Amino acid sequence: MDCRKAFLLYAMVYALACSASLRALEPDEAKIRISVKRVLSAGGDLPAGRWGFAAEITGTINKCNAALVRSGSRWALDLTEIVNSQAASGFYVMAAHQITDLESAAKANRAGYLWRDNAVNIYVADEITDAGGVCSFPPNAEVIAINSRSILGGSEGWLHEIGHYFNLIHPHEGDLVADTMADTPLPDPFDCGLHDQNFINFANGQGAPAGEINNVLHNIMSYHCDPQILTPLQLIRMHRALLDYRLKVRESLAADNPPAAEIRLPPEASGGVLAWQDGGVKIALDGSASTDGDGGAELTCKWSFLSGPAGGASFLTPAGGWERGCSGIGYGDDDDMTELADMRGRYLTVYMTRAFDLADLARVSALSLDVTYDDGFAAYLNGAEVARRNLPAGAGSNTPASAAVEEMREILDLSAFRGSLLKGRNRLSIEVHNADLNSSDLSLHAVLSAQIQGQGAMVLIPSRAVWFYQKGSQGGPPAGWRDPGFDPSASQAQVSFSRPGAYLFQLLVNDGLPPSSTDTAEVEIQVVEEGYIRGDANSNGEVDIADAVFTLLHLFLGSVQPRCEKAMDSNDSGEVDLSDAIDVLGFLFARGSPIPPPYPRCGDDPTQDDLSCAGFALCKN
């Protein structure tokens, strides 16, 4: 098995997963500040080895960034400074166990040690007697020391220690993530060539596929001869550590543009006026013109009814869309971008769906799904089942996975299902199930790729992409959730009106990205009958004391003007005068004469007069 050639394919897949970005600002994008301090001797000498030279330090940070790109990461290391500290001369020569002493001394004398709270602090010693480098793990410790005399170099050495800083451990110590298998113990005395061969022999004896072998043999966190990459779940673990423990070392990025909510009404409700019909009326509120602010429309919607006649309006479709989050989705193990903190003990299942576009079906020669899962899952392409692992057929939201397993990674050949692909919009949907309600973890991370004739590999759904998801605590997903035309965003809402009136609706859109992830829009819809309501002088849909006051203000102060004089003529005398206000008060409080029609519903004037009715707000004229 030529593992090193096979590695090139995997590195290309990781890089493609990075380049297939869907929006201007990616949720896992980060720029990490790096502050390098060369430790001077008591006599003021620079470290004597390779890392005493600023050009070497700059070069290795550049190599680190190249390795991150090659791994599919959206991180960049920003070398903010290379400075010299003579106050730290007590650590010009040090042992690995003195890393805690170095950090304590640096924090006690921040000025002398040039300590920065907002950067990764890396101290270059002349010699670390028993290590090429040493790093403190989160959550509390936060310093790196590099041995200037060590052969530890290039992207491997420095990025290896930065990996520790962001909570990565060695493959030979278990790795804690599922897309690197366990490494063999380090040979003593150490020889990287012997370490390579020992691991290859072991992995081949286990029948491990090339991908799993390469994830260790070429891993920056291993001690093999040619480490070059970090794996997708290692990148997720680093990002979780950044968010949970190391956020202060991240530079502020250009703020995500906030989304913009927009509501469109159908032609029958043009201008916000909808004609009432006996038996009720229905319309569709459309929020699909809303945008995420960064050139896309990937957001979720929530519709709400703010005001109007009680019980007069109801939603016929879900008023809220599915939640959105970056893959992997799950909890436990710190290897999920979207943490379901409420899942354990409450629900077994999560449903995920993601749309993608494909222009030329004829050139698709192969299709593959790279999936890491714990415990069981089923995947569907445009409604057709394409994969199932550790999950019985016909599983519902309360069906456990067939068995509890540790996280497993498989690269599944879906080429046999190319016939399920569609030109244009497609949809991959996945349901993931836990084996037990009180399981310590659950995870699903998926990458969908295609081979395109004449073009090579194309990532259709990249690593750490944003998916829509619904928790099993809400029951099973709606019918059609796996179909290409399914709308998990609830961008359209069907509304039924059971009585006339003025109704105010709100649309809240959420793109899931801070700092400004939401926006709202409102629309008023007046469901109106023909004509007007007599006695309703202020045209608000009700006859009350405010109408008598409105009439008096009009007659004696001229401070208000009626939209409909006919409605102000409460006694149908053909004139608007003081008696109209008196008759309304008598009707309301003294059992006076009833108000003539049209009352209490909208209608036409049964008698002819010269009064006008230019517009009654709740009735269509």
In the numeric block, the tokens 């098995």 are attached to 1
pLDDT at 7 over 60: no
pLDDT grade, residue 8 (50/70/90)?
A: very low
* C-alpha span between 298 and 302 (Å, rounded): 14
Which residues are bridge partners to 377 per DSSP?
389, 432
| 358, 424 Cβ separation under 8 angstroms | yes
* C-alpha span between 545 and 536 (Å, rounded): 10
In the numeric block, the tokens 């405010």 are attached to 546
Q: Where are the alpha helices (DSSP H) in 476-560?
A: 545-552
pLDDT for the residue 448: 94
DSSP state of 296: -
User: pLDDT by residue (tens digit) across 144-155?
Assistant: 999 998 866 544
User: pLDDT by residue (tens digit) across 112-148?
Assistant: 999 999 999 999 999 999 989 999 899 888 999 999 9
More confident residue, 18 or 543: 543
As a whole number of angstroms, the longest Cα–Cα distance in the chain is 112
Q: Which residues contact 445 (CB under 8 A, 6 or more apart)?
A: 232, 233, 236, 327, 328, 329, 336, 371, 372, 373, 463
- The helix/strand/coil state of 183 is coil
For all residues of the chain together, what is the average pLDDT?
Answer: 88
For the chain, how big is the Rg over CA atoms in Å? 34
pLDDT grade, residue 389 (50/70/90)?
A: very high
pLDDT at 10 over 60: no
pLDDT grade, residue 45 (50/70/90)?
A: very high
In the numeric block, the tokens 């999560």 are attached to 350
Length of the chain: 621
pLDDT at 13 over 60: no
pLDDT for the residue 17: 38
pTM of the model: 0.70
User: pLDDT by residue (tens digit) across 469-494?
Assistant: 999 988 889 989 999 999 899 999 99
Of 447, 330, 445, which is closest to residue 15 (Cα–Cα)?
A: 447
User: pLDDT by residue (tens digit) across 487-533?
Assistant: 899 999 999 999 888 899 999 998 876 656 889 999 999 887 778 89
Of 557, 559, 565, 556, which is closest to residue 537 (Cα–Cα)?
A: 565
User: pLDDT by residue (tens digit) across 392-417?
Assistant: 999 999 999 999 998 888 889 999 99
Q: Which two tokens stand for residue 50?
A: 């390779």
| 468, 300 Cβ separation under 8 angstroms | yes
